[in-house]
Amino acid sequence: MKIGEKIIHLPSCSSTNDVLRELAEQGEEEGVVVLAEEQTAGRGTKGRSWFSPRGKGLYLSVLLRPARESALLPLMAGVAVAEAMAEEYSLKIRVRWPNDLILKTKKLGGILCESSFAGSQLSYVVIGIGLNLNQEEEDFPPPLRPTAISLKMVLQRDCHPEFVAGKIFTSLSRWYNIFQARGDEQILKTVEILNQFQPGEEITFLIEEGPVKGRFLGLDSYGRLVVATDSGTRIFTSGEVLTPVESLSPGEEGHA
Ligand code: BTN
């Protein structure tokens, strides 16, 4: 089944990722999408909540059953969204490793990629995509205002969630075919081009032990982040790169 050929529309749900995981467990086919008008318990990465008010954002999850698990999957999804928005709206969306979508240095959206295994065998992957569409600045909770942006804030008009979703499905199908055909290099190259940071740039990187400062060196062939720190070159599989604004207020909960 093609991505988005079957869409389950929900007026409201806890989290589209959770609904789709249940469907995946019941044997739902690859390509099916859950799209909600609002989420009552939208989830972001690192246990954060995802602000999901009705009619303001795009909240959807896509079921994939890829041949392999890879850190490239969230990057691939980010590239697909960025490319769709460039094609449709001529917007330059940056990908901030590993799962942020950045527009004009602020967060436009994010990817929550969750894999499920049967023993060591990958059963399925749920790719959750959240995109801020129709928020005005004051629609965001005050702590998010300095770092969040929506399409409307840039385009000065409303965007219809299903229209935007359709564009994303076309682009995601293309990139998923590339992933399945082991086009890792093509994905990595595109991430490098779209990346918010260029090699050599100073970044602050947040890991469990706290913020680490270093020089961004690039991504390795597995899609991991390579940073030159005071204690040598380090490779990270998870964590988050902080923008200058976020670096001033670490620990903030509840992203949009
Ligand atoms: C992030 O923290 O940047 C990832 C945010 C992902 C949000 C989307 S909205 C649709 C899907 N359902 C969820 O509960 N989360 C993802």
At 40-94, the pLDDT tens digits run: 999 999 899 999 999 999 999 999 999 999 999 999 999 999 999 999 999 999 9
- Ligand 1 centroid to Cα of residue 131, in Å, is 8
Q: Is CATH 3.40.50.2000 the right assignment for the domain spanning 7-194?
A: no
Provide mean pLDDT across the span 26-46: 97
Question: Given this model, what pLDDT does residue 60 score?
Answer: 98
- Ligand 1 centroid to Cα of residue 215, in Å, is 28
Question: Given this model, what pLDDT does residue 210 score?
Answer: 85
- Ligand 1 centroid to Cα of residue 67, in Å, is 23
Question: Given this model, what pLDDT does residue 196 score?
Answer: 85
Asked if residue 100 has its Cβ within 6 Å of ligand 1, the reply is: yes
Q: Whole-angstrom Cα distance, residue 123 to residue 21?
A: 11
Q: Whole-angstrom Cα distance, residue 94 to residue 159?
A: 19
Q: Residue 205 — pLDDT band, cuts 50, 70, 90?
A: confident
Pick the CATH number of 202-242 from 3.20.20.70, 3.30.499.10, 2.30.30.100, 2.115.10.20: 2.30.30.100
Average pLDDT, the chain: 92
Asked if residue 112 has its Cβ within 6 Å of ligand 1, the reply is: yes
Q: Residue 238 — pLDDT band, cuts 50, 70, 90?
A: confident
At 102-142, the pLDDT tens digits run: 999 999 999 999 999 999 999 999 999 999 999 999 999 99
Neighbours of 186 (CB within 10 A): 15
- Going across the sheet that includes 232-236, the strands are 232-236, 225-229, 210-219, 202-207, 240-242
pTM for this entry: 0.92
Domain ranges of the chain: 7-194, 202-242
- Ligand 1 centroid to Cα of residue 48, in Å, is 9
Q: Whole-angstrom Cα distance, residue 35 to residue 59?
A: 6
Asked if residue 130 has its Cβ within 6 Å of ligand 1, the reply is: yes
- Ligand 1 centroid to Cα of residue 59, in Å, is 7
Q: Residue 248 — pLDDT band, cuts 50, 70, 90?
A: very low
**Protein residue whose Cα sits closest to atom 16 of ligand 1:** 128
**Protein residue whose Cα sits closest to atom 8 of ligand 1:** 130
| pLDDT of 227 over the 70 cut | yes
